[in-house]
Homo-oligomer: A and B are copies of this chain.
Amino acid sequence: MTSPFVPGTSIRVAGASDGPLAGLTFAAKDLFDVAGQPTGGGNPDWARDHPTPTRHAWAVERLLEAGATLIGKTITDEVSLGILGENPFEGTPLNPRAPDHVPGGSSAGSASAVAQALCDTALGTDSGGSVRVPASFCGLYGIRPTHGRLDLRGMLPQAPSFDTIGWFARDADTFARVSEVMLGEVIPAGLPTRLVIAVDAFGLADESTSAALQPLVRALASLMKEVREDLLAPPGLSIWSRAQRALQPYEAWLTFRDWIDRVNPRMQFNVASGLTLASPIPESERQWAGLMREEARARLRWLVPPGTILCMPTTPFPAPKKGLPFSVIGPLRARLNCLTSHGGLTGVSQVSVPGATVDGLPVGLSIVGGRGSDASLVAVARVLGARR
């Protein structure tokens, strides 16, 4: 059970005959509608309660119109609630760079398909890290664009104030070509000029991961006019994580509760448990988290104004082994969230690039910019990729 594709599906939709992505292939996470195919959402009881879509999702349509050919739908953690990419109903997609390790999720199959070179790019979603984490674990380029920038029509929602569409590529050029189409914006030749090194984020990562990323940080710094160290989250990354854990799971509960009531779906224990624990998160906690979210947004506006980018480890460590017990996974997940929660909280843009390897396992370096900086971040990734 290591295929990245949804079991039992066989999908091919040819892209437009000419277009900027003509000749490329792509896959779509099974949260995106493909006309005539059930959207499964990674859960055996989602599709039977939801009609088969008659239209493609906006993101799928966008790539098809640009000439890319859809070659499959990929496995996701159940209804995007997962960060490791272990789906017991459909299988754990192979991480070809680390076969005994998880691929990362929830866009697990999309990352796996690209990393295995089964397609050139793939659509994912990122609410709490679901593109960034698998990009890091599989050694890929991946983007979480500015929240609200892309059209989410035809995408199975999780937590609307966090949900974004992202994509993966193995090389920086393909990543830039696809990004240009998805963003509808030329990737600029010029780069930002100021770099913030997020010392709290490097401090929270494993020492071996932080150390392994230093050469790429230096390469990035050499492209900039100014480099300084600063905190990403002055109150603590764990405080931002806590605020995110009050808001996003509760929103997800609101998204899924009617379906759960109707269907009593089969789920992996931790997914059902997470939703159960989210439902009673008190208003007082969510109010506090909302205030902290505003403060985090203000922090990022100040920290990465136009022309400034921030770098940090995408994940605090490379991919954990597959099949670890709950009691081991829980603390790992909590640390992962400390390095991803700023994205959903603030809605800024983030690109993860292949950063280094630790004991042979890939780990990503992330470049974070303010809202709307997406093309600029892709430009940085392209230059870094060309220097490799």
- Chain A residues packing against B (C-beta within 8 Å): 45, 86, 88-89, 260-262, 264-273, 275-277, 325-327
Contact = CB atoms under 8 A, between A and B. Distances in A.
A271 to B, nearest CB: 8
Contacts of A273: 272-273, 275-276
A325 B89 contact: no
Contacts of A327: 261
A264 B260 contact: no
Identify which of A271, A273, A325 gathers the most chain B CB atoms within 10 Å of its CB: A273
Identify whether the interface residues of A are mostly helix, strand, loop, or mixed: helix
26 contacts: A45-B88, A86-B264, A88-B264, A88-B266, A89-B266, A260-B326, A261-B326, A262-B325, A262-B326, A264-B269, A264-B325, A265-B269, A266-B266, A266-B267, A266-B268, A266-B269, A267-B267, A267-B269, A269-B272, A269-B275, A271-B272, A273-B273, A273-B275, A273-B276, A276-B276, A276-B277
A180 to B, nearest CB: 40
Given A264-B269, A266-B266, A276-B277, 5 more contacts: A86-B264, A261-B326, A264-B270, A266-B267, A273-B275
B267 A326 contact: no
Nearest to A86: B264
A265 B260 CA distance: 18
How many copies of this chain?
A: 2
A88 B265 CA distance: 8
Contacts of A262: 325-326
Contacts of A277: 276
A325 to B, nearest CB: 5
A266 B271 CA distance: 9
A325 B261 contact: yes
Contact of A272 (B45, B88, B272): B272
Please list the 7 inter-chain residue pairs (A to B) with the smallest Cβ-Cβ separation, ordered nearest first: A272-B272, A273-B276, A261-B326, A276-B276, A261-B325, A269-B272, A262-B325
Identify which of A86, A261, A271 gathers the most chain B CB atoms within 10 Å of its CB: A261
A272 B264 contact: no
Nearest to A258: B325
Contacts of A260: 269, 326
A94 B383 CA distance: 65
